A and B are shown apart, each in its own frame.
Chain A
Amino acid sequence: MTGPVASGLRAAPGWRETRRRVTDRAFRAALLLAFLAAVAPLLLVLGYTVYRGASHLSAAFLTHSMAGVPPSSAGGGIYHAIVGTVEMVLLSSLISVPVGLLAALYLTEFGRGWLPRSIRFFVDVMTGIPSIVAGLFVYAFLVLGLHRGYSGFAGALALAVLQLPVVIRASEDMLNLVPDALREASYALGIPQWRTVLSVVLPTSAAGLTTGVMLAVARVTGETAPLLLTSFDNTFINNNPFSGPQSALSVFIYNSAQQAYAPAVDRAWAAALTLIVLVIALYAGARILARRSALRQR
C-alpha cells in the first residue's frame, strides 16, 4: 500500500481529511460511551440488589409471613407476598391470555378492513396506559362502583388490563409468522377455518405463543402501582384471592423500603432479589423457548 505509485496518487491528507477522520473517531467513541452508559445502570442495579439482598435471603425468609413482626425488628418473611404475587399473576393470565390470544387470532385471520385496523391501533395505544391508571380504573369500577372491597382478584383485574395488550401484540407477531401456504393447504382439503386455526395455525406457532405469554407474565409480575389501589397490602397470609387484601412482592418491597428501620429495608432488598430472580427466570425461559421455536423471526 505504501509503494511509490500509491503514495504518488494519494492526495496529501489536508486538514479537511483530518477533520473527517477525527469526527468519525469521535462519533464511534460517543456510540461506545452511549452503550456503556446504558449497560452500567443494569449492572449497578442487579449487582447492588444481589449485594444487599443475598445476605438476608434464607429458607425461613421465604417460608414465613410478617404476621406479628413489627417493622423495627428482624425476622419475618415474604411467604404471604409470594402467595399474593403468584395468585394474582395466575388469575390475571387466566383472563388475559385466552382473550388476548383470541383477539390476536381475529387480527391475523380477519386482518383487513377498518375494524381490525382500529383495534390494532388501540391495542398499541393501550400498551401506553400508565399502570397506576389501570389500578385507579379497577378501584373506581370494582371497589367504589360494585362495593367489592380490596382483594387479590381486584389486583389481578388491574394486572390483566396491563397484560392484555402485551399478549395481543406478542401473539399477533407469532401468528403472522405462520406461512399462509399452510393455511391454504388446509383450506384446499376443505377444512373449515376454525379447524384450520385449531389444528394447523396454533400448533405451528405454539412455542412462539408460549414465549409471548411468558414475556407478558414477566411484564406484570413486578407491577406495584396498580396493586396499591386494588389488592392493598396484608402482613398475614391470605390464600383466598377473592376476599380480603393480599400482599404482593412488589408492594411488600415498596412499603418496606419506606420504613425508617434497618431490618425493614433489609427485608425490602431480599424481597427485591427474590422478585428479580423470578422475573429473570421467566425471561430466560421465554428466550430458551424462543430459540427452540420452529418459526424464526426475520
Chain B
Amino acid sequence: MTAEPISPTSGALRHRGGWWSGDRAFRTTTLACGGLVLAVLAAIALFLVVQALPAFRADSTSFWTTRTWQPDATPAVFGIAAVAFGSLLSSAIALLLAFPVAVGVALFITEMAPRRVANLLGYLTDALAAVPSVVFGLWGLYWLVPRLTPLQQWLADHLGFIPLFSAPQGVPSPSRSIFAVSIVLAIMILPIIAAMSRETIRQVDPQIKEAALGLGATRWEVVRTAVLPVSRAGLFGAVILGLGRALGETIAVALVLGISFDVNAHLLVPGKNTIAANIATQFGEAGSTGRAALIASGLVLFAMTMVVSLLARWMLGREARRRGASR
C-alpha cells in the first residue's frame, strides 16, 4: 500500500465551505457507490432467500438428501444431493487437472521464459480467459467429446478396476461424461489459477532466489527450496479461487454433460448434473414451484461460492500481509 496523500479534508488544509460543499458531495457520492457493492451482495442473499421459501414449504422430502428433482410433481419431490455431488465431483477433478498445469505455466513464465516471450505467453493465457464459456461448451460438445471417447474407452478397459474408471454398462459413443466436463472446466479455470499463481510467485523476494542460485542450485532446486515454500499460501488461495469458478460454471457444463440425477463415482459414462447446469437446463420448463426450487439450489450455490471466495481472499490477503510484515 502506498502512503495516503495529504488530503484537503484532513486537518489544516480543510477547504472552507458551508454545510454543503463540493468535497462533501464528492465524498458522499463516492461512498454511496462503494456502499452499493455491499447493498447488492446483501440484496442477492435476501431475494434468493425470500423467493426460495415457497420451495422449502412445498418440498415433501428432505431438501438436503433427496436425489431426484421433480419439484412440479404432486407431491413435490426434490433435493440438492445429486446436483451438489456432481458440482463437487466435476470441480474437484477439474482442479486436479488444472492445478499442476497452471503452476507449471506460472513457473515457466516467471522463472524460465525470456522476458519478451513471457509477455507474449501472459497475453495468450489471458486470451484463454477471454473466450466466452458458451464457446467452450460448443467446442467441448462438438470437438472434444467425440475425440475423447476412444480415450475413455481405453481407460474403462484397462483401469476399470478402479471404481472411478469403471463403466458397468460400457462407454457409449460419444460419451458426454463428467470426465469430459472436467477437462473443459480445467481449461476454463486454468487462466485464473495461472494468473494468481504468477502474481504470488513473482512476489517472491529475488534475493532468496539469487542466494540459492549463488550456492549452485539448479532451477528446480531454486523452485523447490526458495519459491514454492514461500508461495504455498498464495498458491492455495489461487486453487480455491479456481474452485469457485468451477463450481459456478454453468453453460459449458450444460452443453457438454449428458444430464441425469445419478449419484455414483463413474466418471466415464454420461450422466450426473451440477447445481449451476441444472438451473440453466430446467428453468425454461419449470413451473412456479420448480423455479422456487431452482432459486433454492442457487442459494446453496451462492453460499458455497461465498465460503470458497472468502477463504481464497483470506488466504491471499494473509499472504500479502505476511510479505508486507517481513519486508
Q: Which A residues form the contact surface with B (CB < 8 A)?
A: 20-21, 23-24, 26-28, 30-35, 37-39, 41-42, 44-46, 48-49, 52, 98-100, 102-103, 105-107, 109-112, 115-116, 118-119, 121-126, 128-134, 136-137, 139-141, 144-145, 161, 164-165, 168, 176, 180, 183-184, 187, 190, 192-197, 218-219, 221-225, 228-229, 250, 253-254, 257-258, 265, 268-269, 272, 275-276, 279-280, 283, 287
B37 at the binding interface (Cβ < 8 Å): yes
A187 touches B6 (CB 8 A): yes
- Residue from B22, B121, B221 within 8 A of A35 (CB atoms): B121
- Residue from A20, A99, A272 within 8 A of B218 (CB atoms): A20
B301 touches A130 (CB 8 A): yes
B274 to chain A, nearest CB (A): 10
B64 at the binding interface (Cβ < 8 Å): no
Measured between beta carbons, the chain A residues less than 8 angstroms from B26 are: 193-194, 197
B313 touches A31 (CB 8 A): no
Secondary structure class of chain A's binding surface, majority of residues: helix
A133 to B301 CA separation, bound complex (whole angstroms): 8
* Contact-size category for B: 35 or more
A107 touches B34 (CB 8 A): yes
- In the complex, what residue of chain A is closest to B31 when comparing beta carbons? A106
- Residue from A24, A123, A137, A221 within 8 A of B37 (CB atoms): A123
A sample of 7 inter-chain contacts (CB < 8 A) reads A27-B220, A35-B105, A45-B136, A130-B302, A145-B47, A184-B5, A279-B130
A112 to B103 CA separation, bound complex (whole angstroms): 34
Measured between beta carbons, the chain A residues less than 8 angstroms from B29 are: 102
- Residue from A34, A122, A197 within 8 A of B38 (CB atoms): A122
Q: Which B residues form the contact surface with A (CB < 8 A)?
A: 1-9, 13, 15, 21-23, 25-27, 29-38, 40-41, 43-44, 47-48, 50-51, 100-105, 107-108, 111-112, 121, 123-128, 130-139, 141-143, 187, 190, 194, 218-221, 223, 241, 244-245, 247-251, 254-255, 276, 279-280, 283-284, 291, 294-295, 298, 301-302, 305-306, 308-310, 312-313, 317
B41 touches A30 (CB 8 A): no
- Residue from B8, B43, B250, B283 within 8 A of A187 (CB atoms): B8
A258 to B251 CA separation, bound complex (whole angstroms): 12
- Known A-B contacts A136-B48, A136-B294, A224-B251; A193 and B15 likewise in contact (beta carbons under 8 Å): yes
A38 touches B128 (CB 8 A): yes
B29 to chain A, nearest CB (A): 6
B135 touches A276 (CB 8 A): yes
- In the complex, what residue of chain A is closest to B125 when comparing beta carbons? A38
- Residue among A34, A111, A253 with the most chain B CB within 10 A? A34
B24 to chain A, nearest CB (A): 9
Supplied contacts A106-B27, A132-B276, 17 more A-B pairs, CB within 8 Å: A23-B220, A42-B128, A98-B33, A102-B34, A106-B33, A119-B37, A119-B38, A122-B38, A133-B44, A134-B44, A144-B51, A164-B36, A190-B15, A193-B22, A225-B276, A254-B251, A279-B131
- In the complex, what residue of chain A is closest to B141 when comparing beta carbons? A257
A137 to B41 CA separation, bound complex (whole angstroms): 10
Measured between beta carbons, the chain A residues less than 8 angstroms from B3 are: 180
- In the complex, what residue of chain A is closest to B294 when comparing beta carbons? A136
A195 to B23 CA separation, bound complex (whole angstroms): 8
A128 touches B309 (CB 8 A): yes
A106 touches B34 (CB 8 A): yes
